[in-house]
Structure 1
Amino acid sequence: MLMNPPPNLTDPLVLFMPSGKRGRFPKGTPILDAARELGVYVESVCGGRATCGRCQIEVQEGQFAKHKIVSSLDNISAMGGKERRYAEKRGLADGRRLSCSATIEGDLVVDVPQDTVINAQVVRKSPIERTIERNPAVQLCYVEVDEPDMHKPLGDLDRLKAVLERDWGWEDLLVSQHIIPTVQATLRKGNWGVTAAIHQDLESSRPTIIALWPGLHNEAYGIACDIGSTTIAMHLVSLLSGRIAASSGTSNPQIRFGEDLMSRVSYVMMNPDGRVAMTKAVRGAVNALIEKVCREGGVDQDDILDSVFVGNPIMHHLFLGIDPTELGQAPFALAVSGAVHSWGSELGLAINFGARVYVLPCIAGHVGADAAGAVLSEQPHHQDRMMLMVDVGTNAEIVLGNSQRVVAASSPTGPAFEGAEITSGQRAAPGAIERVRIDKDTLEPRFTIIGSDLWSDDAGFEADAARLGITGICGSAIIEVVAEMYLAGIMSEDGVINGALAAKSPRIVADGRTWSYVLHEGKQRILITQTDVRAVQLAKAALYAGIRLLMEKLGIDHVDTIRFAGAFGSFIDPKYAMVLGLIPDCELSEVKAVGNAAGTGALMALLNRDYRREIEEVVRRIEKIETALEPRFQNHFIHAMALPNKVDPFPKLAAQVALPPKAEPASDAEPGQVTPRRRSREERAARRVRG
């Protein structure tokens, strides 16, 4: 469990290196839980089930006089059944243990190897620059209030409200309770001149005085925040001018409880204090970002008067303090789907006590307020052309439509595109391979790594690689390398690596009963295994099947334009996404990344309250499709396992990219027919994806 009883001096002392963080924990505490409590970031994709192997640690033996610790392997629990099964199946290097299974039995010095530390990943979220007509929900109003008159026994607050109605037209004003005790002192300090911040979200709602300053005050700011499962992005904006004063992002600290969304739901289900811990973590990160953007923008946190938040349903619920357990199981019921109106003080936000919070509505159980923000940003409901919007993540969000009709769904792609389930996979961080090309004749690769602009065959690359390391392969490169392997003939359209090519190139190596491709030979060998290819196929097939279901619902056979939303989408090459069969055929020039469209939508709703009404109305009209209940999902999934697809043509792609010839079907097979054995295997995969 995360929350341990208060430690005493008889509890074992645990020191984590290289961070140097230490603490005392009762015997029997899993090492991973101790790491989480101390804020030591150790990867755990599986949520502590001893299946992913990402949480490996090493126990140091010996006397550490500086820290007054004698660490021994005798002070860690013996290997249990789950850990032993993992070691037998996947292997554990000498001295390595799974921190989710190994428990503390005495004083320990625990080394967290670099390959299991959650790196400070590259945060790549920024709003799209655009002109937004301002009509904010908060307005500053300076007034000069009549002094008290013994012959007119009207209270100070009542006279303030009267002059706000006379000078500014505000009728039937409400006043935030926290302001009432301060009104008299504020009026006198300002010599009867004060500035009131009035909040009115809806034209039909009663306006409210949420802040009051003596004299003239002309600073009013808001924050637009996108809470993602991996990163949190925030923009500090002047409500008076629309100017972005500062933008920043950070890793979501909830990552220490589980890499993907379902791992975090599992953590809540398995730990009574899990929801509280994750809510505290995400609000703490939001407050740290508020402090950072205010410092960078030279803004007083007390001048933040309004805020807009977006996020996927699970992040939405945890930020609001709602247990997300119901989102982890059918029918994926949201606690609240409509827009949420709250106060910053109720959520513990480090902004003006009277500041308001607006959270965009969620579309469905797994299509959240972030998707609503992207819809607001890209405006498919105002387009004549058919627009497909995709946010690729562990649970991809898909929106398709135009001015006539809009449909939405989510598709469980899993964490493959985020580096999990891939042998050498990792998140985007310095040293990660992010671009890949393979020579069709020699099968030799060239690649780039994050932190360097050079390709691996450029002069000077080795110096950059020595400085940064070549640490693994991130999501954009995972898509590119599998697509390039297909284009180079290294694997078939069914994703099978051709072992016969081992005679042609040392890059093709035996890997048990299958074959792998050596992308990089170095201190850390980076392989693309048959299992890796299979994981990518499963992920892309789930996404494409979801898209095809929405296309069927609208009765269309093609889309006119495609938008990749989200931070990851900004780094997906449209050509390789289409070669892989991640998205349907379309003119490549019509496939565009729109960056943090969810954050842009939040910015629009912050600066213009009319956009809040617009997205609330649009979300009510969006038709939600549950892929798990659609019988056609399985057929689409099976066909989408092939590259780019077993049956769907890609003429626009073929006009620009030389695709390998499709394999000829057996003489007694129908075009696009899958062999019984392969179909059976892929049907099982489709059923697992659908849950």
Structure 2
Amino acid sequence: MPYVRILPENKIIKVIQGKRLLDILIENNIKIPSYCGGAGWCGKCKVKILDKGISLACQTYVEEDLTIKLLKEEGTDINIQKDFWENSNFILSPVITLQAFSLEIPSLSDSRSDLERILAIKENIYIRDIFVLRKLPIFLRKNNYKGKLVLFENEIIDVREEELKRVYGIALDIGTTTLVGHILDLTDGSDIDSYSTENPQLPYGADIISRINFIIHNPDGLQILRDRLIKTLIEIIQNLCTKNNINLNDVYALSITGNSVMTHIFLGVTPENIAFSPFVPVFRNMMILDSRDIFGNLFNAKVYVFPLISGYVGGDVVAGIMATNLLNKKGNIMLIDIGTNGEIVLKSKDALFACATAAGPAFEGSNISHGMIAKNGAIYHVWLEGTVKFEVIGNMEEKGICGSGLLDAISVMLDLRIIDLTGRFIKGEEFCLGRVKITQKDVREFQLAKSAIRAGIDVLLNKAGITYKDIDKIYVSGSFGSYLNKKNAIKTGLLPNIPLEKIILVGNSAIGGAKMILLNRFLMKDA
């Protein structure tokens, strides 16, 4: 049985002869990018095999002992996108409330049950969770029948000591590329902290179709993807609590938003039928679950899962609609969530139109020669000022280029006539930004992605019977919603040629909507 020695950790793994190196690394939790899911065309899973040189892990099969060196992944700190919601009339009415109580101690003249005493505290309250019922007798006697009820609407989800002053909620955005979490104080509505990291499913493909294919072709595929996701979400939750000295047991509510496929995987429900016409999801309705059903006995909280619109228009769009207050806007208003899935919503008169476009992962930096997501080391802004200049996230040496930087670079290349209006190179074969190169293939990947978005815009406008001139406002969300250059978006054809003031950059509107749900329980019904 051959082995693989991994440097610089000097880790040795015994493997089955003939097994693919990429699978070996993934199964042993060795972080390695593979945006094409091991199909062999993204070129991101490079390793150095001693005595043999650079090779793709997805194209390497272990027939004998190998010593490999992992190529350093640069810029590991994800850049947190700003979030957004229009909150001028927002009312704080959190999903979790506290109700203090002081009960009469049982006696021969008052032998009511513990549960009867608790339910008499407030009208219409109830206990559904057997764990809370089991906790009652010990808790009440230990605390002299005084304490606080933790309520989710009218359901008692815990009984706690008198001293408990604050409870918390966590909003989670499960993106195809990036996971984002915010921890909120549900007592006063403050946003305490945020944390972001790469989606751990990236080695199985940068887009949702690659992940569905992995599920279809691997009997344990769904479980593998879900386990990796849940493990990372737990790490986000624990990180937010530990960093801010918050007891995990004081977290009582979570809101979950994501595209339809990510939401299915989160719940352990197969999304495979979404890949085939007529693209039917298993469910579309919102769900309220117990955290034990998702995260085990880690903590006791209610989990709100955003509803889906269709197989390819998910809860992240519903959250975005909520964050931008789209339903209450007048005129022709468009919300464009630019990412691997280009999801677009148009409100025209009293109707809502929605579609999803196969933009692909180019806007997230995938399928681009030196592409990367928006994290330290990524070029995110390029411009002309006598010479070509650029800015890098983290103010460090450039390691790659993210979507907004690619958009700017394409615009500069047009201005310098390095490429023509069709995107073909007419000066040289590549465009260099320091150590980062943009090739003809990268330009074509960008054109495919932006054309998908633009086609979706045209389809919805046609469906509503209006034109570009009738658009009153466009909200742009996603990573682009934080860093997009509006002029360059119009110049390259990504967005229609409308006045710049009509284009509003809103960053991560999905996490904004997820936060709103936690802070106003009445919005659950609106979603």
TM-score tier by shorter-chain length is over 0.9
Amino acid corresponding to residue 127 of structure 1 in structure 2: D
| Alpha-carbon spacing, 1:427–1:262, altered in 2? closer, same or farther (3 Å) | same
Report deviation, 1:121: 4.9
The answer as to whether partners of 2:75 and 2:377 remain within 8 angstroms in 1 is no
| Alignment partner of 1:519 is 2:432 | yes
The answer as to whether partners of 1:120 and 1:251 remain within 8 angstroms in 2 is no
Amino acid corresponding to residue 249 of structure 1 in structure 2: S
Structure 2 residue corresponding to 1:388, chosen from 331, 334, 359: 334
| Alpha-carbon spacing, 1:478–1:19, altered in 2? closer, same or farther (3 Å) | farther
Inter-partner Cα distance in structure 2 for 1:265 and 1:15: 31
Amino acid corresponding to residue 426 of structure 1 in structure 2: M
Structure 1 residue corresponding to 2:255, chosen from 295, 302, 308: 308
Query: Could you say which residue in structure 2 is the equivalent of 1:549?
Result: 459
| Alignment partner of 1:128 is 2:41 | no
Query: Could you say which residue in structure 2 is the equivalent of 1:268?
Result: 215
Report deviation, 1:118: 7.4
Between the two proteins, the alignment pairs up a number of residues equal to: 523
| Alignment partner of 1:142 is 2:100 | yes
Inter-partner Cα distance in structure 1 for 2:514 and 2:298: 18
Query: Could you say which residue in structure 2 is the equivalent of 1:356?
Result: 302
Inter-partner Cα distance in structure 1 for 2:252 and 2:399: 43
Of the structure 1 ranges 576-585 and 253-262, higher mean CA displacement relative to structure 2 is found in: 253-262
Amino acid corresponding to residue 237 of structure 1 in structure 2: L
Query: Could you say which residue in structure 2 is the equivalent of 1:450?
Result: 393
The answer as to whether partners of 2:339 and 2:479 remain within 8 angstroms in 1 is no
- Greater share of strand residues, 1 or 2? 2
| Alignment partner of 1:430 is 2:420 | no
The answer as to whether partners of 2:419 and 2:425 remain within 8 angstroms in 1 is yes
Amino acid corresponding to residue 548 of structure 1 in structure 2: D
Amino acid corresponding to residue 61 of structure 2 in structure 1: T
The answer as to whether partners of 1:43 and 1:259 remain within 8 angstroms in 2 is no
Give the fraction of aligned pairs with identical amino acids, expressed as a percent. Answer: 30
Instruction: Report SS of the residue matched to 2:131.
Output: coil
| Alignment partner of 1:376 is 2:319 | no
Inter-partner Cα distance in structure 1 for 2:25 and 2:112: 61
Instruction: Report SS of the residue matched to 1:178.
Output: helix
| Alpha-carbon spacing, 1:176–1:49, altered in 2? closer, same or farther (3 Å) | same
Inter-partner Cα distance in structure 2 for 1:191 and 1:347: 34
| 1:82-161 alignment runs, 5 A limit | 95-114=53-72, 117=73, 120-128=76-84, 130=87, 132-161=90-119
Inter-partner Cα distance in structure 2 for 1:592 and 1:350: 42
Report deviation, 1:576: 0.5
| Alignment partner of 1:475 is 2:403 | yes
> In the TM superposition, what whole-angstrom CA distance separates every residue of 1:36-56 from its partner, at most 9, and x where no partner exists?
122222221221122322222
Inter-partner Cα distance in structure 2 for 1:195 and 1:108: 61
Query: Could you say which residue in structure 2 is the equivalent of 1:181?
Result: 134
| Alignment partner of 1:36 is 2:23 | no
Inter-partner Cα distance in structure 2 for 1:537 and 1:181: 60
Determine which structure has greater relative contact order: mean sequence separation of CA pairs < 8 Å that are 6+ residues apart, divided by chain length: 2
Of the structure 1 ranges 368-377 and 139-148, higher mean CA displacement relative to structure 2 is found in: 139-148
> In the TM superposition, what whole-angstrom CA distance separates every residue of 1:26-76 from its partner, at most 9, and x where no partner exists?
222211111112222222122112232222222124xxxxxxxxxxx6xxx
| Alpha-carbon spacing, 1:59–1:489, altered in 2? closer, same or farther (3 Å) | closer
Structure 2 residue corresponding to 1:488, chosen from 411, 416, 420: 416
| Alignment partner of 1:13 is 2:31 | no
> In the TM superposition, what whole-angstrom CA distance separates every residue of 1:155-200 from its partner, at most 9, and x where no partner exists?
11112212x13xxxx2252341001122111111111112111222
Query: Could you say which residue in structure 1 is the equivalent of 2:360?
Result: 414
Report deviation, 1:400: 1.1
Inter-partner Cα distance in structure 2 for 1:242 and 1:403: 33
> In the TM superposition, what whole-angstrom CA distance separates every residue of 1:549-592 from its partner, at most 9, and x where no partner exists?
10111111121111111133211111111111111122112212
> In the TM superposition, what whole-angstrom CA distance separates every residue of 1:119-159 from its partner, at most 9, and x where no partner exists?
52523234337564122222211111111122343211112
| Alpha-carbon spacing, 1:331–1:265, altered in 2? closer, same or farther (3 Å) | same
Amino acid corresponding to residue 496 of structure 1 in structure 2: R
The answer as to whether partners of 1:43 and 1:118 remain within 8 angstroms in 2 is no
Instruction: Report SS of the residue matched to 1:497.
Output: coil
Kindly name which structure, 1 or 2, has the bigger radius of gyration based on alpha carbons: 1
Report deviation, 1:388: 1.4
| 1:479-628 alignment runs, 5 A limit | 479-498=407-426, 508-509=427-428, 516-520=429-433, 524=435, 526-558=436-468, 559-615=471-527
Instruction: Report SS of the residue matched to 1:477.
Output: helix
Amino acid corresponding to residue 27 of structure 1 in structure 2: Q
Amino acid corresponding to residue 541 of structure 1 in structure 2: S
| Alpha-carbon spacing, 1:12–1:412, altered in 2? closer, same or farther (3 Å) | same
Query: Could you say which residue in structure 1 is the equivalent of 2:150?
Result: 197
| Alpha-carbon spacing, 1:297–1:172, altered in 2? closer, same or farther (3 Å) | closer
The answer as to whether partners of 1:279 and 1:318 remain within 8 angstroms in 2 is yes
| Alpha-carbon spacing, 1:393–1:350, altered in 2? closer, same or farther (3 Å) | farther
The answer as to whether partners of 1:381 and 1:402 remain within 8 angstroms in 2 is no
Amino acid corresponding to residue 227 of structure 1 in structure 2: I
Inter-partner Cα distance in structure 2 for 1:175 and 1:190: 22
Inter-partner Cα distance in structure 1 for 2:107 and 2:390: 79
Report deviation, 1:240: 1.5
Inter-partner Cα distance in structure 2 for 1:226 and 1:321: 17
Inter-partner Cα distance in structure 2 for 1:39 and 1:47: 15
| Alignment partner of 1:45 is 2:35 | yes
Instruction: Report SS of the residue matched to 1:122.
Output: coil
Report deviation, 1:107: 2.9
Inter-partner Cα distance in structure 2 for 1:491 and 1:101: 33
| 1:391-402 alignment runs, 5 A limit | 391-402=337-348
Inter-partner Cα distance in structure 1 for 2:112 and 2:341: 59
The answer as to whether partners of 1:142 and 1:216 remain within 8 angstroms in 2 is no
The answer as to whether partners of 1:445 and 1:519 remain within 8 angstroms in 2 is no
Amino acid corresponding to residue 156 of structure 1 in structure 2: D
Could you list the runs of 5+ residues in structure 1 that have no partner in the other structure? Answer: 1-10, 62-72, 74-94, 201-206, 453-467, 499-507, 510-515, 616-691
Report deviation, 1:241: 1.1
Could you list the runs of 5+ residues in structure 2 that have no partner in the other structure? Answer: none
> In the TM superposition, what whole-angstrom CA distance separates every residue of 1:301-338 from its partner, at most 9, and x where no partner exists?
00111111101111111111112212222222111111
> In the TM superposition, what whole-angstrom CA distance separates every residue of 1:472-522 from its partner, at most 9, and x where no partner exists?
322112111112222333333222333xxxxxxxxx32xxxxxx243246x
Report deviation, 1:613: 1.0
The answer as to whether partners of 1:127 and 1:597 remain within 8 angstroms in 2 is yes
The answer as to whether partners of 2:179 and 2:198 remain within 8 angstroms in 1 is yes
> In the TM superposition, what whole-angstrom CA distance separates every residue of 1:381-418 from its partner, at most 9, and x where no partner exists?
11113221111112201111156221111011112222
CA RMSD of aligned residues (A): 2.1
Inter-partner Cα distance in structure 1 for 2:297 and 2:171: 14
The answer as to whether partners of 2:95 and 2:520 remain within 8 angstroms in 1 is yes
Report deviation, 1:211: 0.4
Report deviation, 1:279: 0.8
Of the structure 1 ranges 321-330 and 425-434, higher mean CA displacement relative to structure 2 is found in: 425-434
TM-score (norm 1): 0.72
Report deviation, 1:349: 5.7
TM-score (norm 2): 0.94
Report deviation, 1:361: 0.6
